[in-house]
Structure formats: C-alpha cells, structure tokens
Amino acid sequence: MKKTESYKSYMKSPYVSFKHTTYFDSYDSFFSTYKGKDITFVEIGILDGGSLFMWRDYFGANARIIGVDLNPEAKKWENEGFEIYIGSQSDRDFWREFVVDVGDVDIVLDDGGHTYSQQIITTESLLPHIKDGGLIVIEDTHTSYMQGFGDMDFSFIEYVKEHIDKINLRFGKFENGIAEKRIWSIEVVESMVAFKVNRAATELVSKPIFNIGSGTRAKDFRFEDENALMEVNQIFDKEKPKEEITLQQLESILIDLKFKNPEMANRLKNLLD
Ligand SMILES: C[S@@+](CC[C@H](N)C(=O)[O-])C[C@H]1O[C@@H](n2cnc3c(N)ncnc32)[C@H](O)[C@@H]1O
C-alpha cells in the first residue's frame, strides 16, 4: 500500500476511523486538486469522528468540513469546529433543508449506511447541488454484490449503469430528453463510484467531422469479422434468453415452411402433434 497524502492524514487523526487499504489511492486521485482550497466538503457517516479530522488535515484550514449522520450524538463534533447535520440520507426532505442551509457543495463523500436506497437517494438529492467541477463519491459500492443492502435488481451499480446510458444518449444523433446534463463522467474504482459534475461540458454537441487529409475510400471491415459474435457471447458468459413463441406464430411458421420445404414442415408438424 502506498502511503499517500490521504493515508498520512488518516494516520494522524486523533479519533478512530475504519477504512480499507485500497481506498487511499482513490481518495488522492479524486481529491488532490482540492487540497488547500476554499471548498465545501460533505461526508455522510461520522461514527467516531475519525474521518472528519482526517479530511480537515487533508484539505487544510480553508475547507469547510461538514458531517452528516443519523446518530444525534454526532452533534458533539461541532465543538471541534465541524458543521454537523443530523438526519437520514434516505430522506429527501432532510436533503432539501440541508442544501438550503449549506448551499452548493464541491465534494460529497458517502460513507453512510451503504444500502442501495441510501446511496441512490443521496446521489439524486445532491447531484443538482454539486458545483461544476465538483464530484459525488459513493463509497463501499461492493455492497451492490452483497446480500442485506436491498433488492439486488435495483442495486446502486444498476443505477450507475442507467447513468452510463444517459451519458451516451448525449450523442448528437439521439434526440432524447433523458440525456444526462450534469454528470460529465463517471469513474469506477474498486468499491467506489465518482460522479464528476460539469454542466458546461455536457452542453457540447457532438457532430461528425472530417479533416482535409487524403484517403483511398478503404472498405470498412466492420462486419467482416465472423468470430466476433462468438467471442462476445463468451465474454458475457451467458446466452441470450430464448424468446417465447406463441401458437399463432408457430402456425404461420408452419404454413411458410410448407411452401419452402414441405418435407421439413411435415416432420415439424408430426413432432408438434
Ligand atoms: C461506516 S460508518 C462511518 C465511518 C466514518 N466515515 C469513518 O471513516 O470513520 C457509517 C455511519 O453512517 C451512519 N448512518 C447509517 N445510516 C445512516 C443514514 N440513513 N443517514 C445518515 N447516516 C447514517 C451511521 O450512524 C454511522 O455513523
């Protein structure tokens, strides 16, 4: 494990905090450009207060460090100069009041309850209030693959996939009102997902463009690679679900077959009878 800047701040914290060794590289990669700046940083999940001190050391004295927790006892950390809000991250009304009070924020780090509904409601509630250039990082996203955190068909990672679709729907040829207009990119690392917000960048419209270089009008071999389909099936490691066929469809196939291949049609009919 590399002893990154966030790791050093973590080790210096006077109060306990539980993390995973892989997290520090990710923290530094997401947050290093904000060090020393006049930013608003919100962490959901305070527990013993250890990470609040870590972030104050990491970002420096100019940063406004805000903690959110459901446990009312966390209010005591206000005595140490942190701003503390008590409420549930799965309560939209709590977030509505929070943003009126706090204003727009630069960074949100969600280390709260880690259920899918908590992670999703937090993202939905705070996305409109992240400043351009800022980000929301949801931590411990491995819970999307674990029992006990919600319905896995609607896990946090499934929600992330929906955002990936919406980012790609920005492509100029799609006329689609659901295209994502806040998140410029999503970075996925082990156990964390970062939504990077940049509204101005999402307004750029992609159009086809050619340079003035010479070309021979070469044939595009896009569909000439016969192995490709088999390969893809192996990569996905699953077969396409079989489509159900109705009796009516079967009858029309049989009629069609009678003209094209009567013998085969007879064999099929016997088989079905
Ligand atoms: C993993 S601990 C936070 C650890 C802390 N960030 C650290 O690194 O030391 C999770 C915290 O989330 C809080 N929590 C759980 N469910 C919550 C919810 N619905 N809303 C807000 N906080 C919640 C818990 O009370 C607990 O303090």
Q: Length of the chain in residues, anyone?
A: 273
Percent of the chain past pLDDT 90, that is, above it, reads 70
pLDDT-derived band at 86, boundaries 50, 70, 90: very high
Q: What is the mean pLDDT of the chain?
A: 92
Mutation probe of ligand 1 site: the residue of 111, 119, 126, 139 with most atoms within 8 A of C-beta: 111
pLDDT at 224 over 90: no
pLDDT-derived band at 265, boundaries 50, 70, 90: confident
Task: Examine residue 69 and state whether it is found in any structural domain, yes or no.
Answer: yes
Q: Provide the residue range defining the domain that includes 180.
A: 5-202
CATH number, domain at 148? 3.40.50.150
pLDDT at 240 over 70: no
Distance 69 CA to ligand 1 centre (A): 6
Task: Examine residue 260 and state whether it is found in any structural domain, yes or no.
Answer: no
Comparison of pLDDT for 272 and 179, the residue scoring more = 179
**Given this model, what pLDDT does residue 235 score?**
83
pLDDT-derived band at 185, boundaries 50, 70, 90: very high
Task: Examine residue 246 and state whether it is found in any structural domain, yes or no.
Answer: no
Distance 162 CA to ligand 1 centre (A): 26
pLDDT at 241 over 80: no
Distances (CA, A) of 137 to 192, 207, 212, 218, 230: 7, 31, 42, 45, 37
What is the C-alpha separation between 54 and 48, in angstroms, rounded?
Answer: 12
The answer to which of 11-20, 202-211, 231-240 has the lowest mean pLDDT is 231-240
**Given this model, what pLDDT does residue 250 score?**
80
**Closest ligand 1 atom to 118 CA:** 19
Residue nearest (by alpha carbon) to ligand 1 atom 22? 69
What is the C-alpha separation between 147 and 54, in angstroms, rounded?
Answer: 30
State how many domains the chain has.
Answer: 1
Task: Examine residue 67 and state whether it is found in any structural domain, yes or no.
Answer: yes
Task: Examine residue 108 and state whether it is found in any structural domain, yes or no.
Answer: yes
The verdict on the CB of residue 4 being under 6 Å from ligand 1 is no
pLDDT at 147 over 70: yes
Task: Examine residue 24 and state whether it is found in any structural domain, yes or no.
Answer: yes
The answer to which of 51-60, 117-126, 167-176 has the lowest mean pLDDT is 167-176
Mutation probe of ligand 1 site: the residue of 10, 15, 47 with most atoms within 8 A of C-beta: 47
The verdict on the CB of residue 160 being under 6 Å from ligand 1 is no
DSSP strand E in the chain: where?
Answer: 40-44, 64-69, 83-86, 105-110, 130-139, 183-189, 192-197
The verdict on the CB of residue 113 being under 6 Å from ligand 1 is yes
Task: Examine residue 85 and state whether it is found in any structural domain, yes or no.
Answer: yes
Distance 48 CA to ligand 1 centre (A): 9
pLDDT at 228 over 80: no
Task: Examine residue 273 and state whether it is found in any structural domain, yes or no.
Answer: no
**Given this model, what pLDDT does residue 247 score?**
78
